[in-house]
Chain A
Amino acid sequence: MARQGRSIFALTVPTFLWLTVAVVLPITVMFYFSFLSASPFGTKPASLTLDNYATFFTKDFYSFLAWRSIKLGLLVAALCALIGFPAALVLSHRLSGYWREALLLLVILPFWSNALIRIFAWTMVLREQGLVDQAVHAVLPWAPSVGILYSYPAIVIGLVHSFLPYMILTCYISLQAIDPSLVDAARGLGARDHTILRRIILPLSFPGLAVGAILTFVPVVGAFMEPRILGGRQGITMGTVIEDQFTEVFNWPLGAALSFILLGIVLAILALCYPLLRARFRLG
Chain B
Amino acid sequence: MKLVASCALSALAAVAVLVGTQTAALHAADGEVRVLNWKGWGTDEPWAIEAFEKETGLKVVHDYITSFPETFTKLRVNPGYYDVVVLNAAFTQQAAAEGLIQPIDTSTIANFGVLFPDLRDSPELNIDGSNFGVVWMWGGTSVSYNTDVFPEPPTSLEVLWDPKYANRVCWRDDAEDSVRFAALATGQDPDKPADMDKIREKLLALKPQIKALWKSGDEWLKLVSAKECDLSTVWTNNTEAAAVQDKLPISFIVAKEGAIAFRDAMSIAKDAPNVKGAEAFINYMVSVPFYQGWVKVGGAPVSANKEAIEQLPESSLTRTVLAAPEALPRLNFKGPLTDEQRQSYLDLWQEVKASFAQ
Q: Do chains A and B touch in the complex (CB under 8 A)?
A: yes
Residues of A within 8 A of B (CB): 38, 41-44, 59, 61, 64-65, 68, 120, 123-124, 127, 129, 150, 228-229, 231-236, 241, 244-251, 254
Cross-interface CB contact of A233 among B69, B94, B207, B227, cutoff 8 Å? B207
Beyond A244-B175, A247-B70, A250-B69, whether A64 also contacts B94 by CB under 8 A is no
Q: Is the CB of A127 within 8 A of B226?
A: yes
Tell me how far the C-beta of B132 lies from the nearest C-beta in chain A, rounded to whole angstroms. 15
Task: Check A236–B357 contact: CB distance below 8 A.
Answer: yes
- With known contacts A43-B97, A65-B354, A236-B353, A246–B69 Cβ distance under 8 A: yes
Complex interface bits, B213-248 against A, C-beta within 8 A gives 1, otherwise 0: 101000100100011100000000000000000000
Contact in complex: B339, A44 (CB < 8 Å): yes
With A127-B228, A233-B207, A248-B342 in contact, is A59–B67 under 8 Å at CB? no
Q: Assuming the A-B contacts A42-B98, A228-B215, are A61 and B356 also in contact, with contact meaning beta carbons closer than 8 angstroms in the complex? A: no
**Stretch of B103-111, B251-259, B293-301, B344-352 at the chain-chain interface:** B344-352
- CB proximity of A45 to chain B, nearest CB, Å: 13
**Inter-chain contact B357/A249, CB cutoff 8 Å:** no
Q: List 9 A-B contacts (CB under 8 A).
A: A61-B350, A61-B355, A65-B354, A123-B222, A123-B226, A150-B211, A228-B213, A233-B356, A244-B346
Whether A229 contacts B219 by the Cβ 8 Å rule is yes
Which of chain A's residues have a CB closer than 8 A to the CB of B97? 43
Complex contacts, B215 vs chain A, CB 8 Å: 228
Docked Cα-Cα span, A6 to B326, in Å, equals 81
Q: How many residue pairs at the A-B interface have CB separations less than 8 Å?
A: 88
Closest beta carbon of chain B to A146's beta carbon, Å: 15
Contact B66 A233 (CB under 8 A): no
A249 B339 Cβ-Cβ under 8 A: yes
Which 6 pairs of residues, A with B, have the shortest CB-CB distance?
A61-B354, A250-B69, A233-B356, A247-B67, A236-B353, A233-B210
Contacts of A120 in B (CB 8 A): 222
> Which residues from B are CB-within-8-Å of A228?
173, 213, 215
What residues on A are CB-neighbors of B219 within 8 Å? Answer: 229
Interface residues of B in 129-157 (CB under 8 A from A): none
Is B358 an interface residue, CB under 8 A from the partner? yes
Are the C-beta atoms of A236 and B67 separated by less than 8 Å?
no
Interface string of B114-132 (1 = CB under 8 A from A): 0000000000000000000
Tell whether, in the assembled complex, residue A236 and residue B69 are in contact, meaning their CB atoms are under 8 Å apart: no
Evaluate contact between A61 and B351: CB separation under 8 angstroms: yes
CB of A64 within 8 A of CB of B346, answer no
